[in-house]
Amino acid sequence: MTIVPALEVMILFAGAWMLAWVVRRVIRASTRRAVRLAQERPGTWRLRLPRVSEVDTEVETRRRQRADAAARMFGHIVTSFIFVAAAFIGLQLVGVNPVYAVSSAGFLGVAIALSCQEIIRNVLTGTLALLEDRYAVGDDVLLALGGNEVRGTVDLMGPASIRLRTADGATWHAGHSSIDSVTNFSQVAAVAELMVPTEQWNDVEDVAAKRLAAASNDVGLTGVIFLPELTAMAHPTGVTTVQVRSNKPLSDGQKESLHERLVESTDSR
């Protein structure tokens, strides 16, 4: 390889590194902005369930941690594509056909391809787990892994794997895609407060739980699972605060629909 192609390859990888750095910063800034906007209106980032003993300041901190973790995962994926593309271009600069180089590697190329496939599967599964809020750092979880169950606290959530600390101090490492199911003991039900006139609440209190169960079939409320327990507190102003628990936070529109369902005419009992 002559000096000129070598310099071109060095410049190529330096440019790839700079591009990856800029892209990661853009992804991080865009993700944080999306989280900030989501706090003002219903969206994916508002679907996060509260944790046990979590205070308001911790909610905001954990939301930002989720955003940064997702940004890192996306950044790793984009960076990998950038450097793979740079490697193919670099082979062409030195006069080597990239397709021929990969195919001639034989079993080594197959091994690399399979490894990359597993890494990508773990990264994508981890990203989905993060966005769907299946588990997060600090959660007490029970993981089903290949027929075995492991319970512990999540102390690291990497792009491709999760690290669990058990009660006896041992650590478990597993790829995100190898987790069959998750039981999260730290997540608690989302609570929505509805303001109902006390007179109307007294009329429907006995059938409220039944109406709540039927509300899951209403337009706009499909996918929402309501717990049967309701908590009501009457106020001297003639209004009762009714607390409804569900599997995910409700938007303002969903709260309005649920309110209408609870206080509908008693003739429909």
Q: Write out pLDDT tens, residues 138-191.
A: 888 999 988 889 999 988 887 788 899 998 888 888 889 899 989 888 877 788
CA distances from 258 to 18, 112, 192, 201 (A): 51, 53, 10, 13
State which residues form the domain around 9.
3-104
Residues 165 and 198 in one domain: no
Is residue 122 included in any domain, yes or no? no
Could you report the per-residue pLDDT of 187-238, keeping only the tens digit for each? 777 888 888 888 887 777 777 878 877 887 787 787 787 887 788 888 888 8
Q: Residue 138: left (phi > 0), alpha (psi -120 to 50), or beta?
A: left
Residues 169 and 201 in one domain: no
CATH number assigned to the domain comprising residue 175: 2.30.30.100
The residue with tokens 């109307």 is 200
pTM beyond 0.75: the answer is: no
Residues 38 and 99 in one domain: yes
Task: Say how many CA atoms lie within 13 Å of 50 toward its Cβ.
Answer: 17
Q: d(Cα 249, Cα 74) in Å, to the nearest integer?
A: 26
Residues 232 and 253 in one domain: yes
In the three-class reduction of DSSP (H, G, I as helix; E, B as strand; rest coil), residue 240 is classed as strand
Closest CA to 241 of 193, 170, 204: 193
The winner for highest mean pLDDT among 81-90, 91-100, 131-140 is 81-90
Residues 241 and 166 in one domain: no
For the chain, the domain total comes to: 3
